[in-house]
């Protein structure tokens, strides 16, 4: 069954789409990425991504960080969940680092070189987004997931610190 489009498709591509192949557990990989590149990725709720072959949602591990210095955000998500890859054409990568925002090319090169320097990482490479089939729906799912996370955090903040007129 075809997926019904209910929203305007996003034409935005990620600023950088980096594939990472590693034999480290994801928690260790995130720790080393945080310490080498000062990103501060934090575990968030798993991201649901629609799979056309199964016709359902697969939940993939998801890490997120905001960078106010470069006005960008970093998202790390696992490629495989329940034996199904997000991008089957790139199954050699076990996770992807997606960078969105105003970040200079030098910072992207620094990120890739710092990830490559982690022992246990075999490959860290920037992937050309134009050649990746099926990337646009993933970016759309990512944008929806980030908006849900931000809404939940705003509600939690409102509960912990209500407005003065609501007290």
| Parallel/antiparallel/unpaired status of strands 56-67 and 95-101 | unpaired
- Phi, psi values for residue 162, rounded to 5°: -70, 160
d(CA 144, CA 28): 27
d(CA 104, CA 10): 22
d(CA 144, CA 133): 20
Note the pLDDT tens digit of each residue in 92-105: 999 999 998 888 88
List of E strands, the chain? 16-22, 42-51, 56-67, 72-78, 80-81, 84-85, 95-101, 121-126
> Quick check: 152 pLDDT over 90?
no
pTM: 0.80
Work out the pLDDT band at 66, boundaries 50, 70, 90: confident
Note the pLDDT tens digit of each residue in 88-137: 888 899 999 999 888 888 989 999 999 999 999 999 999 888 878 878 78
């Amino acid at each position: 069954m075809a997926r019904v489009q209910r929203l305007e498709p996003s034409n935005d591509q990620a600023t950088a789409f980096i594939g990472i192949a590693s034999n480290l557990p994801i928690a260790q990989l995130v720790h080393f990425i945080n310490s080498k590149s000062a990103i501060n990725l934090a575990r968030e709720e798993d991201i649901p991504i629609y799979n056309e072959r199964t016709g359902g949602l697969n939940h993939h591990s998801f890490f997120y960080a905001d960078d106010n210095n470069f006005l960008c955000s970093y998202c790390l998500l696992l490629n495989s969940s329940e034996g199904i890859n997000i991008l089957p054409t790139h199954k050699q990568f076990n996770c992807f680092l997606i960078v969105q925002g105003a970040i200079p090319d030098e910072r992207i090169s620094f990120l890739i070189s710092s990830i490559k320097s982690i022992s246990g990482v075999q490959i860290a490479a920037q992937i050309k987004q134009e050649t990746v089939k099926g990337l646009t729906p993933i970016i759309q799912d990512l944008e929806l997931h980030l908006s849900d996370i931000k809404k939940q955090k705003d509600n939690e903040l409102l509960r912990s610190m209500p407005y003065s007129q609501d007290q």
